[in-house]
Amino acid sequence: MTAIALRPPEVVMRLQRLGAAHPTRLSFLRQLIRRATREQWHARKDRFELDDNGFGRAVYAVETPARTYSLVAFSTPLDDEKRSDRVIAQAWDTSYVLYDGLPDAAEIARLEANAPLQEAGRFTGRELVLARANKSVRLFEEVASALAHGRQPDEEQLLGVGYLMRTTAVYGNGKFGIADRDEIASRPELSGSFQAEMLTVWLIRSFILDLVDHIAYRRNPTGAARLAPDLRRALGVGNATGLGMAPFLVRHPLLTHSWFLARETALARVRVEPYAGEAERKAFLQALTDLRRRVARWYSDDSRQAAATRLLADDLATLAGNLDRLLAKPRPWDALYRLAEDRFSLEGQEACVSLILEPHGDLVDDLGDTMKADETPGHGIDGSVTCGSLRQALLDSYSWAESVDFAEPAANARFWYVSAEKLEPRLGERFEEDGAELEQPLATARDALNLAAALAQEPASSRVAEFLLRRPEWRHAARRAQIVARFPYSEIRDNLIGAELRPVDILRAKLAFFGARSFDPRSDRWLRIALFSGEPLIEDVAAAASTGEAA
């Protein structure tokens, strides 16, 4: 069987395509759901101590084959003027900790004194993830009111939003004193990318749904309805994500490469399949139907996203209209992909990639285990190479950047820096704001070309080590050049400091790997999304395993 080449990074790693990314069955929340279902994790409410207004604390315990983890949730009053999605907020409707084990009363009291403070609190290595979330106030109240009156909320309105609360931060990896990544990386259930964070959000979803049911019941103990099971499953957890996350794909090149390589390898495996079986056809049609339903409800005030969503709806209609014909062809999945490549928008093309992978878990799910990387040892600078060879590697890897004139103000318009207030990445306007001297090394294309120019002044046979001893300011660019030469999906192949940059494109690419849907840009620098919408509830995974369902 003749193999199909992977899509090249020159196609995959462009900002416009990254900004059209869709979640796939390799997304991290889908990987977590499959493991939990396969291993029949058991989730239960260990505590649920809330007053009539839904304020108090709750503990949700999850038993895996090896360990127990607990979501410790706190719901507190919040004045409307203090409610904000911004990272600089200091109070939230709810706050959470993913705890290693089952906390006793003393531990819960300690967390209750600290978790609502978030960054200002004090934490230990027993805490794995720290999170907070705010209500979508009007919708949350309308759902609680409808249930209290014994009726279900308006389905169209509810699913048009897709969540009752949205998180404004989900912190892991040792921030603010919680456990370092190294403490849990060897645990199979948490070893994959962002598995602890996804588990936290999955549990938060159950707490939110139980919270609205609880408030409705307390308002009308004899007549309140519970949120219908199909609506519970349809709802996810919202998230507001901004610039703090944007540089992640740049700062973690090996991890980025592993994510994209896995997805592209999966696509190539499926495209080479010689025929479409009945089970695969049925699964694809179901996935296509589900996506068309989601797209019909996908609303955004952002004019660019709204236009892209309209084109996507047209693309999916075209796909549906040609499905029987294409699936009858040799290599039917390749035929579907080539139709998308030839005729669809970028949104449509990337949605088609997601759909093609959906029926082929047996063929691609093993690639989830490859979507991680150790970025510390073994990837230093090889100083023994010559200046000439490093320069050639730069010109080869960054040939796409040679058309960018960084002497032009528009090409050099922005700079990345770390805010003093929150110690998180921010984007400055180089010719309008002070602070360019604090620029972070995220202008990868500019720095690569400048390093190549500096190396051109050196004897071609001289060693890079000797050059860097004299010019240490180029160490970051030299290291990156050697990484990109070996790991081609590690670099975004666009100018990251230009006036046309939309950081939300980078954000969407990362969030799609998490499993996010309903992308709603609120500006070019932040967006809202939904996680776990339409996915099984964590308390249902054991039942799903016994009936043969899989994510």
- In terms of domains, do 56 and 95 share one? yes
Specify the length of the chain in residues: 551
Q: Are 58 and 96 in contact (CB under 8 A)?
A: no
pLDDT at 527 over 90: yes
Q: What pLDDT is attached to residue 209?
A: 98
184 and 55 within one domain:
yes
Whether 298 and 166 map to the same domain: the answer is: no
What is the percent of the chain with per-residue pLDDT over 90, rounded to a whole number?
85
**521 assigned to some structural domain:** no
Q: Does the residue 34 lie in any domain? A: no
Res 245: pLDDT = 85
pLDDT class of 1 with cuts at 50, 70, 90: low
Q: What is the CA radius of gyration of the chain?
A: 24
What is the average pLDDT across 332-353? 97
Residue 539 banded pLDDT, cuts 50, 70, 90: very high
Residue 543 pLDDT > 80, yes or no?
Answer: no
Predicted confidence at residue 213, as pLDDT, reads 98
Residue predicted with more confidence, 496 or 240: 496
**pLDDT of 449 above 90:** yes
Per-residue confidence (pLDDT) for residue 544, from 0 to 100: 60
What's the chain's average pLDDT?
A: 93
How many domains would you assign to the chain? 3
On whether both 92 and 193 belong to a single domain, the answer is yes
Residue 82 has pLDDT above 90, yes or no: no
Q: Which of these, 59, 160, 175, lies nearest to 123 by C-alpha position?
A: 175
Mean pLDDT of 512-532: 94
Pair 335, 392 in one domain:
no
Identify the band that residue 175 occupies on the pLDDT scale cut at 50, 70 and 90: confident
pLDDT in tens, 226-259: 999 999 999 999 998 888 888 999 999 999 999 9
Domain identity same for 155 and 291: no
Please state, in angstroms and as integers, the Cα–Cα distance from residue 339 to each residue in 125, 283, 318, following that order.
51, 19, 9
Q: Please indicate, yes or no, if residue 190 is contained in any of the structural domains.
A: yes
Does residue 29 lie in a domain region?
no
| Contact criterion met (CB below 8 Å) for 349 and 311 | no
CB 166 within 8 A of CB 205: no
Question: Which amino acid would we find at residue 124?
Answer: T
Lowest mean pLDDT among 50-59, 86-95, 475-484: 86-95
Please report the pLDDT score of residue 323 as a whole number: 95
Task: Grade residue 455 by pLDDT with cuts at 50, 70 and 90.
Answer: very high
Sequence-ordered list of residues with C-beta below 8 angstroms from that of 108, at least 6 positions apart, any chain:
47, 57, 59, 72
Mean pLDDT of all residues in 489-495? 96
> Percentage of the chain with pLDDT > 70?
96
Please state, in angstroms and rounded to a whole number, the distance separating the CA atoms of residues 356 and 280: 10
pLDDT at 64 over 90: yes
The answer as to whether 373 is a domain residue is no
Q: Is the pLDDT of residue 118 over 70?
A: yes
Beta bridge partners of 74: 57, 95
Q: Are residues 285 and 433 in the same domain?
A: no
| pLDDT at 88 (0 to 100) | 61
List alpha helices for 382-531, DSSP H.
387-397, 444-455, 464-470, 475-486, 503-514
Nearest to 58 by CA among 44, 46, 41, 66: 46
In terms of Cβ atoms closer than 10 Å to its own Cβ (0-12, 13-18, 19+), residue 182 is exposed
96 and 156, same domain (yes or no): yes
Task: Give the pLDDT confidence of 371-397 residue by residue, as tens digits.
Answer: 988 776 556 899 999 999 999 999 999
The whole-angstrom separation of Cα 99 and Cα 104 is 11
pLDDT of residue 50: 98
Pair 169, 258 in one domain: no
Q: Is residue 3 part of a domain?
A: no
Do 361 and 455 lie in a common domain? no
Residue with tokens 């190479």: 385
CB 227 within 8 A of CB 152: yes
51 contacts 73 by C-beta, under 8 angstroms = no
Pair of tokens at residue 520:
């709603």
Q: Both 62 and 104 in a single domain?
A: yes
Residue 452 included in any domain:
yes
User: Does residue 419 lie within any of the structural domains?
Assistant: yes
Give pLDDT, residue 137.
85
Which residue bears the tokens 């691609």?
364
- What pLDDT score was predicted for residue 380? 84
Beta bridge partners of 277: none
- What pLDDT shows up at residue 374? 79
Give me the domain span that covers residue 400: 387-490
Domain shared by 103 and 191, yes or no: yes
* Strand ranges in 51-146 using DSSP code E only, listed in sequence order: 56-63, 68-75, 94-100, 127-135
